Amino acid sequence: MTKQEKANFIRKKLAKLYPNPTPPLNFSNPFTLLIAVLLSAQCTDERVNIVTKDLFKQAKTPKKMLSLGEKKVLEIIKSCGLAPKKSKAIIQTSKILIEQHKSKVPDNFTDLEKLPGVGHKTASVVLNQAFGYPAFAVDTHIHRLAQRWGLSNGKSVEQTERDLKFLFPKKDWGNLHLQIIFYGREYCAAKDCYGLKCKICKALYPKRRSKVITNKA
């Protein structure tokens, strides 16, 4: 198969497995999505949803979040990884949104990536899921599977994103972001398949016998 043929096969397979993928993080507006994604770094989606259930009861806007204060936010999110750093970023981000963006979450990469704790991946998720912008956020699962499936060389997350955007239709980027993550967690985990066991890996590389060692994100 050519690289494009592989991408076409993968897209169709994932569409059958996950026809209507929904975001795993709970949110009710662009701000709560931004905070949830910020919290998800080095933390499971399940844990984030537990934490934000309490956090968002008390604060769903930048003004209310700022009024909670860093100590209170830390107390609520302390079971998340990097909680002290994240609580500080949440308060700083809330303040910036109030002072510079009229309490609105920006709908562009430039302003989003200037916010504390917000990198390109977080900005991509927010732009796609909150505003419908065609972004392709690449996390560790996507970076790993793109290499196992021969869609990218894994040189960098940025390169993986460019390669996937070139191979897949723009209209499918948002769904594929979720579908590949779900597939990676369910069938092609980091310490399980190694490019040898799951149905997609076996279909793409039926003669593969050696484990695929992937570059980390």
For residue 60, the enclosing domain spans: 30-131
Residues 122 and 140 in one domain: no
Could you give the percent of the chain with pLDDT greater than 70? Answer: 100
User: In a 10 Å sphere around its CB, with 0-12 CB exposed, 13-18 middle and 19+ buried, how is residue 211 labelled?
Assistant: exposed
CATH label of the domain that carries residue 84: 1.10.340.30
Looking at the domain assignment, is residue 212 inside a domain? no
Residues 62 and 99 in one domain: yes
Residues 111 and 184 in one domain: no
The stretch 131-142 carries a mean pLDDT of 95
Catalytic machinery residues: 121, 139
Looking at the domain assignment, is residue 178 inside a domain? yes
Looking at the domain assignment, is residue 209 inside a domain? no
pLDDT 10s digits, 23-82: 999 999 999 999 999 999 989 999 999 999 999 999 999 999 999 999 999 999 999 989
Looking at the domain assignment, is residue 200 inside a domain? yes
The stretch 140-157 carries a mean pLDDT of 96
Q: What is the pTM of this model?
A: 0.93
Average pLDDT, the chain: 97
The number of distinct structural domains making up the chain is 2
pLDDT for 216 equals 87
Give the position of tokens 């993928």: 21
